[in-house]
Amino acid sequence: RRGERSMAGHLRDRLPKGLLALLKRAGSLAKSMGYEAYVVGGFVRDLILGRPNLDLDLVVEGDGILFAEAMARELGGRVKSHHKFQTAAVLLHDGNRVDVATARLEYYEYPAALPTVELSSIKMDLYRRDFTINALAIHLSPERFGRLVDFFDAQRDLKDRMIRVLHSLSFVEDPTRILRAIRFEQRFHFKIGAQTERLIRNAIANQFVHKLSGPRVFHEMRHIMEDDRPLASIRRMDELKLLAAIHPDLALDPRKDEVLAEAERVITWYALLYVEPKPEVWRIYFLGLCAGMEDDQVQGVARRLGFSKHLEESFLALRHSIRNTAQQIFEWDYRRGLHSELYFLLKDLPLEGVLYLMARNPKETVQRSISLFLTTLRTLRVELAGADLKAMGLPPGPRYAQILRAVTAAMLDGKATCRAEQMALAKRMAEKDMGLEWMPGAAPTP
Ligand code: ATP
């Protein structure tokens, strides 16, 4: 019978030792409670594909919450449980997290034609999943440890690199699976199966996507945009008319496509610099998706996707600050311009905005200017602080910021590159002030 293949070798060879031990202990613990436990889903898929994945999803035939509590006691950790869904997360002291779900037959309602009584709970659990490749499980009990459970020919689909649903109502049941299908297809370089693609096109044509709540769509879109190379997924969404189904203004046009392609290039470049902070890349792609829109259109999209008021406002504000900076940045002269001018133009723009400006204008001089800011200017700091000004006898006030700004500018423009020069400049400014406005002659000797 298929499904009897042993994954013990893979588990031994491809997992960190601690994780293998954890799975074995989970299996023994389940047995001691009279349960069967399985590791399921993306973890098994990635194990077979040889991709690292440490997210443990366990399914227990038995009481999942009791099992999670026993696991936390035995391994040291705490449990967050959801009684409504019979699920729990075990947060182990060593930082690992294990998600536990309960497989219980009586919870599922299925079309009468299905011979429900003959199905084991694990089979029903797997049948509710999105795609065959995610519907694999591995036995953890000591007698069967490592044995693969494959009811739906997932191994064949992994080999053929195919994304297939388990039944024809899958996208009707949950249209977010359309976005998931695209994400997995692009991430693994698989192909959505012909029948599955027909079901997707049908679901979209029949407006099933309209029924999805904003936050659920947004959650999956964000997931797509945070994967490695989202452009292919975005294009695929557009080709399947999914973007337009989510919101008519989201459909791609040549301009958006170009900006998104540049965005992906810029984001990849920036990631290779290995500098902090990391941008929230979805915002950059989202700016690209909204390229050429008016604010009220962006608002429409934000509302469709259930943005909170705060998120909507911060996103619109980001667009405005980009717009206010763009012209000056694009015109800044890479050869003759003052570095301080570039710095002050960009310093308060969120990183996502700076990277988006780069994507918006692929001209080489613009790329160089922004790159200069990101790789060099942004992190330079003057070697003096407010305390130094205080020590000079300057009373605290708005002048502090002005002086520090002037010193920063001088540093960036190569005129005060060491602490001594910066102190001298600050002192000249402070003394001038004090001589004119503050306590004449009261400056203490340093
Ligand atoms: P990733 O590597 O992106 O985390 P994953 O496959 O682990 O991928 P999750 O979103 O963490 O994906 O979901 C875990 C498992 O839950 C999946 O493998 C899948 O079996 C199941 N699942 C998740 N979302 C759905 C859904 N909308 N419909 C059916 N099953 C789902």
- Is 66 within the bounds of a domain? yes
Atom of ligand 1 at shortest distance to CA of 223? 3
What pLDDT, on the 0 to 100 scale, is given for residue 436? 52
Whose alpha carbon is nearest atom 25 of ligand 1? 130
The answer to whether residues 296 and 323 belong to one domain is: yes
Span 109-114, average pLDDT: 53
- Is 441 within the bounds of a domain? no
The answer to whether residues 29 and 42 belong to one domain is: yes
Question: Dihedral, CA atoms, 307, 313, 316, 322, nearest 10 degrees?
Answer: -130
Report ipTM for this prediction. Answer: 0.95
Whose alpha carbon is nearest atom 24 of ligand 1? 130
Contact between 155 and 183 (Cβ < 8 Å): no
The answer to whether residues 37 and 117 belong to one domain is: yes
Whose alpha carbon is nearest atom 26 of ligand 1? 130
The answer to whether residues 152 and 18 belong to one domain is: yes
The answer to whether residues 56 and 139 belong to one domain is: yes
Tell me the DSSP string of 367-425. HHHHHHHHHTGGG---S--HHHHHHTTPPSSHHHHHHHHHHHHHHHTTS--SHHHHHHH
- Is 394 within the bounds of a domain? yes
Atom of ligand 1 at shortest distance to CA of 174? 27
- Is 446 within the bounds of a domain? no
Span 194-213, average pLDDT: 97
- Spatial CA neighbour of 282 closest among 337, 221, 232, 229: 221
The answer to whether residues 307 and 422 belong to one domain is: no
Name the band, by pLDDT with cuts 50, 70 and 90, for residue 258.
Answer: very high
Q: Which residue, of 379, 398, 416, is where some domain finishes?
A: 379
Whose alpha carbon is nearest atom 11 of ligand 1? 42
Distance in angstroms (rounded) separating the CA atoms of residues 414 and 340: 10
Question: Dihedral, CA atoms, 48, 4, 162, 199, nearest 10 degrees?
Answer: -130
Assign residue 206 the CATH number of its domain: 1.10.110.30
> What domain range includes position 58?
8-157
The answer to whether residues 144 and 219 belong to one domain is: no
What pLDDT, on the 0 to 100 scale, is given for residue 434? 72
Atom of ligand 1 at shortest distance to CA of 173? 28
The residue type found at 390 is: K
The answer to whether residues 400 and 336 belong to one domain is: no
Ligand 1-lining residues (CB < 6 angstroms): 41-42, 55, 57, 129-130, 134, 174, 176-177
Tens digit of each residue's pLDDT (9 = 90 or more) over 208-246: 999 999 999 999 999 999 998 899 999 999 999 999 999
Q: Is the pLDDT of residue 433 over 80?
A: no
Beta strand 97-102 with 56-61 is: parallel
CA–centroid distance, residue 100 to ligand 1 (Å): 14
Q: Which residue, of 343, 363, 379, is where some domain finishes?
A: 379
- Is 260 within the bounds of a domain? no
- Is 113 within the bounds of a domain? yes
Contact between 426 and 389 (Cβ < 8 Å): yes
Tens digit of each residue's pLDDT (9 = 90 or more) over 149-195: 999 999 999 999 999 999 999 999 999 999 999 999 999 999 999 99
Say what angle helices 214-226 and 295-304 make with each other, to 10 degrees: 100
Beta bridge partners of 80: 89
Tens digit of each residue's pLDDT (9 = 90 or more) over 275-300: 889 999 999 999 999 999 999 999 99
What pLDDT, on the 0 to 100 scale, is given for residue 174? 96
The answer to whether residues 167 and 39 belong to one domain is: no
- Is 20 within the bounds of a domain? yes
The answer to whether residues 31 and 142 belong to one domain is: yes
The answer to whether residues 182 and 209 belong to one domain is: yes
Cβ contacts of 97 within 8 Å, gap of 6 or more: 55, 56, 89, 90, 91
Q: Which residue, of 379, 396, 419, is where some domain finishes?
A: 379
Assign residue 109 the CATH number of its domain: 3.30.460.10
What pLDDT, on the 0 to 100 scale, is given for residue 94? 87
Q: How many domains does the chain have?
A: 4
- Is 444 within the bounds of a domain? no
The answer to whether residues 145 and 26 belong to one domain is: yes
* Best mutation site among 56, 129, 172, 199 for ligand 1 pocket (most ligand atoms within 8 Å of CB): 129
Span 101-119, average pLDDT: 58
CA–centroid distance, residue 278 to ligand 1 (Å): 25
Q: Is the pLDDT of residue 320 over 90?
A: yes
Whose alpha carbon is nearest atom 30 of ligand 1? 129
Whose alpha carbon is nearest atom 1 of ligand 1? 42
What pLDDT, on the 0 to 100 scale, is given for residue 289? 98
Q: Is the pLDDT of residue 408 over 90?
A: yes
